[in-house]
Structure 1
Amino acid sequence: MFKQLAILLVLFQLIAGNLLAQDEPLKVGVIGLTHSHVHWIFGSEKQGDIQIIGIVEPNRELAQRYAEQHGYSMDLVYSSMDELLANTQPEAVTAFGSVYDHLKVVETFAPKGIHVMVEKPLAANLKQAQQMADLARKHQIHLLTNYETTWYPTNHQAYELLKKEDVVGATRKIIVRDGHKGPKKIGVNQEFLEWLTDPVLNGGGAITDFGCYGANLITWLMDGKKPNAVTAITQQLQPENNPLVDDEAIILLQYDQAVGVIQASWNWPIGRKDMEIYGLKGVIYADNSSDLRVRIAEGYDGYDKQSYQLEKRKAPYHDPFSFLAAVVKNKIEVQPNDLSSLENNLMVMEILDAAIRSAKQNKTIKLKE
C-alpha cells in the first residue's frame, strides 16, 4: 500500500513539474541585433510567453543603443554564441543577424538540441537551406522561419474562404506584392543596410528580401506543390542606393492549372504587403493585415462585393515568439505546409534559387521534368 502511494506521489510530482514547465516563459537567446526586426522580440517579451536570457552581439555600441531603447541590462549581452552557451541554457534562439549567418546559428545550436527561429528567408541560398534542414532533422529540433505576413488575419481568412468555404472556386491566379521605397530611402540603420544590400550576406536584393514573402504564401495556398517552372526578371532602378544588388523583381510561377505572380520591389512609392487570389467565380483581396475584400463575379464586369475588417488573431497565433514558445512546449504541432514550417521554406528557397538563375540566364527554369 505504502509503495503504491509512493509511486503515485512520484507520478504526481512529475506531472505537476511538466505542467509548471509548460506555463513558464520559454528561455530564449537572441542571436544578433543587426536586423531591425529584432525590435519585435523585445516588444513581445512583455506578453510573458518568452524570457530573453542572453543576447549575442559583438557590436557593443549597437547593443548599448538598443539597451537604452528597450531597457535590458548589458549583462545579458555576449560577444559570441559560444560565450552565450557557456553562461546560459536557452531552450530556443532567434536569429537577427544577416541571412548568410543563419547557417552558423543552426550549426551551433542544433547539436545542443536547441530550437531555432530565423527571420525570413530561411537562408541566403538553397545550398545553405539544405544544410540547415539536414542539421535540424538530424538533431530533431524545430527550425522555423518568421514572416510578418504569417500573423496577418487577412491571409488566414483568405485561406479559409478559398480552401474551406470555396467562395471563389478553383484557384487560377495568385498575385503577391511586397516592398517599399528601398532600405536607404526608408532610413534603415547602417548596421542593417550594410548586409541587406550585399549579394552574399542577403543572397540578393529585393528578389530575396521581398520575393520570399510571395513564395511563402503561394506555396501555402498551393498546398506545398512545387511549381512546374519559374521565370523571373530583375532590374536595378536605384544604382546609387543599391549598387551591388537588384531592387526590382518579378517572378512568375507556373503550376498545372494556376499561375503565381510575385512582385518584389524596393521601388514602390508606398510600403505594401498585399495579395490577390483569383478563382473561377471571383477574387479575394487581402489588402493589408486587417482589410479583406471579396468580389463574386456577376455577368461580364459586374460583381457582388463584401468587405471585412479583421481583429488580431488569437494567441498564440498572433505573434511569432508566442508561437515559438507554444511549438517548443508541444502545445502546437507544426504541419508540413504551415507558413513557418521547414518544408514550406525549403520550397521557398528552391523557388528563389530558380528565380535568381532565371533572371541571370534570361530563361525559364523548369523545376518539374
Structure 2
Amino acid sequence: MNKLLLFLLLLGSTQQQIVAQKLRVGVAGMVHSHVHQILRLNGQSIEIVGIAEPNRELAERFAKQYNLPSSLIYPTVTEMLDKTRPEAVTDFGRIVDHLATVQACAPRGVHVMVEKPLAISLDHARQMAALARRHNVQLLTNYETTWYGSNHRAYALTNTEKAIGDVRKIVVHDGHQGPKEINVMPEFFVWLTDPATNGAGALFDFGCYGANLSTWLMKNQRPTSVLAVTQQIKPDIYPKVDDEATIILTYPTAQAVIQASWNWPYARKDMEVYGKTGSVFALDKSRMRIRRSEKEPEQAVEAVQTDAPAADPFAYLARLLRGETKPDELTSLENNLIVMEILEAARQSAKTGRVVTLK
C-alpha cells in the first residue's frame, strides 16, 4: 500500500510538472519594437530558447538588457530551429519576412505567431496559410487590441447579448503622432517606412487593427467593397509611404470606417460600434461607454482583463498549444486572411482612386 501511494504521489507530481512546463519559444527577428514585450515576459508562461537575428549587435544589446545569454543568438531562423528545436516561434522581424519564417517553421511542425499584420500581401498570406494547413500548425497574428478586455466586452454586448441591435456602423481609430515623432528605434524605422518591407505606411501599420476588429464584429463576413484614401502629410519625413489613411468597408447592412494615422496628436486605439438601437464605445483597454437605446442615458463602465482571452499573447499561445484554451478569433488565420484581402484592396483603391469590389 505504501509503495502504491508513493507511486501515485510521484505520478501526480510528474503530471503537475508537465502542466507547469513553460512553452519553448524561438524569436525570429528583433527589429520590431514589440519584441520588448516577449523579452520582458520571458520566464513566465514561455521560455525563450533561441533568437534568430542577423544584426548581431542589436541582438547582443537586447540580450544584455534582458539578461539573456548570447549563446541563444543565431544568424538565421533555420539554424535557430535546428539547434534549439522550439515548439513555437514568434516573429518580430520585418513584415516581408513573415513568409520565410513560416516556410522554415511549418515543415518542422513548429507553430508561428507573427506581429500584425499577417503578411505584406495577400499572395504571401495565402502561401503562409497553405503551409500552415498542410503541416497542421497554428499560424496566429498578434494585435495589441486582442488583449483589451473592452473589445471583448463590446463584442459580447453586440453579438452575444444583442444589447444594441444589429450592427450598422463600426468606427475604429488607431495610430499615434508618427514613428519618428515617438522615437522608434532606427532598426524599426528603416523598414516600417518602406513599402517593400512593410507593405505601406499607416495604411498597413494601423489599418490592420480596424480590419481585424471589423471582421470579428461582423462574424468573418467579407465586405462587399473597399474604398481607401491615403495622404502624405509629412513627405519630408515619410517620402516612400502614406502617413494618413481612411478605409471604408461596405457590408450588405453595415459600414466600417477605419481611420489609421501617423498624425494623431496622441496615441490611440479605440472603437465605436453603433447598432440599430444603441451604441458601445471601447475607449481604451478597459474604459467603455454604453448606451443601449435613445431613451436610456449613456453609462460609463470598466471592462476587466478577464474579459480578454489572456493577459498577454504569450500566455495565450502557451495555453492554446497545451490545449488549455479555445482558439481566439482575433488571432485566427481565417480572420486575418480576410484582413489581408481588405488591406490589399485598400492599397489598390488608394492607388487608383476607385472602389474595389470583392468578388
Q: Same fold (TM over 0.5)?
A: yes
Write the deviation string for residues 236-292 of structure 1: whole angstroms up to 9, x where unpaired.
101011110011110000001000000000011110000000011111110011100
Which of the numbers 329, 345, 348 marks the counterpart of 1:357?
Answer: 348
Deviation at 1:16, TM superposition (A): 8.0
Q: Secondary structure at the match of 1:224?
A: coil
2:308 is the counterpart of 1:320: no
Structure 1 residue 79: deviation in Å?
A: 1.0
Equivalent of residue 25 in structure 1, options 2, 18, 22: 22
TM-score, normalised to structure 1, is 0.92
**In the alignment, which of 245, 249, 274 is matched to residue 249 of structure 1?**
245
Q: Against the structure 1 CA distance between its residues 320 and 80, is the aligned structure 2 distance closer, same or farther, given a 3 Å change threshold?
A: same
Confirm or deny that 1:234 pairs with 2:225: no
Structure 1 residues 106 and 159 mapped into 2: Cα distance closer, same or farther (>3 Å)?
Answer: same
Structure 1 counterpart of 2:263, one-letter code: N
**Matches of 2:81 and 2:276, distance apart in 1:** 54
Residue 329 (structure 1) shift: 1.2
Partners of 2:59 and 2:143 in 1: CA distance: 24
Cα distance, 1:312 vs structure 2: 2.0
- How far apart are residue 358 of structure 1 and its match? 0.6
Distance (Å, rounded) in 1 between the aligned partners of 2:19 and 2:259: 41
Partner-residue secondary structure (3-state), 1:90: coil
2:259 corresponds to which letter in structure 1? Q
| Cα distance per residue 1:146-169 (max 9 Å; x no partner) | 000000000001011111222111
Question: Corresponding residue for 2:196?
Answer: 200
Question: CA, structure 1 residues 39+358, in 2 after alignment: closer, same or farther (shift >3 Å)?
Answer: same
Contact 2:150 2:307 in 1 (8 A): no
Amino acid at match of 1:310: A
| Alpha-carbon distance in structure 2 between the residues aligned to 1:142 and 1:211 | 24
| Rounded Cα–Cα distance in structure 2 between residues aligned with 1:155 and 1:109 | 31
In the TM superposition, what is the alpha-carbon distance from 1:192 to its structure 2 partner? 0.2
- Partner residue of 1:310 out of 303, 314, 325: 303
Q: Distance in 2 between matches of 1:310 and 1:327?
A: 23
Report the residue type matching 2:311 in the other structure. Answer: H
Q: Deviations over 1:38-68 (max 9, x none)?
A: 001112224x211000111111211122123
5+ residue gaps in structure 2? Answer: none
Contact 1:277 / 1:283 at 8 angstroms: preserved in 2?
A: yes
Rate the CA distance shift 1:79–1:212 in 2: closer, same or farther, 3 A.
same
The answer for the alignment partner of 2:155 in structure 1 is: 159
Partner-residue secondary structure (3-state), 2:211? helix
Aligned residue runs from structure 1 range 1-369, under 5 A: 20-46=17-43, 48-298=44-294, 303-313=296-306, 317-334=310-327, 338-368=329-359
**Contact 1:50 / 1:321 at 8 angstroms: preserved in 2?**
yes
What per-residue deviation string (whole Å, max 9, x for no partner) do you get for residues 112-140 of structure 1? 00000000000001000000000000000
Q: 1:138 to 1:16 in 2, by over 3 A?
A: farther
Distance 1:58 1:19 in 2: 38
Matched-pair contact (CA < 8 Å) for 1:174–1:218: yes
Identity, in percent, stands at 52
Partners of 2:307 and 2:36 lie apart in 1 by 21
Paired with 2:249 and 2:89, the residues of 1 have a C-alpha distance of 33
Structure 2 counterpart SS, 1:339:
helix
**Aligned residue pairs, count:** 353
TM-score, normalising length from structure 2?
Answer: 0.94
1:17 is displaced (CA, Å) by 6.3
Q: Kindly provide the amino acid, as one letter, of the partner of residue 282 in structure 2.
A: A
1:316–1:326 CA contact under 8 A, matched in 2 = no
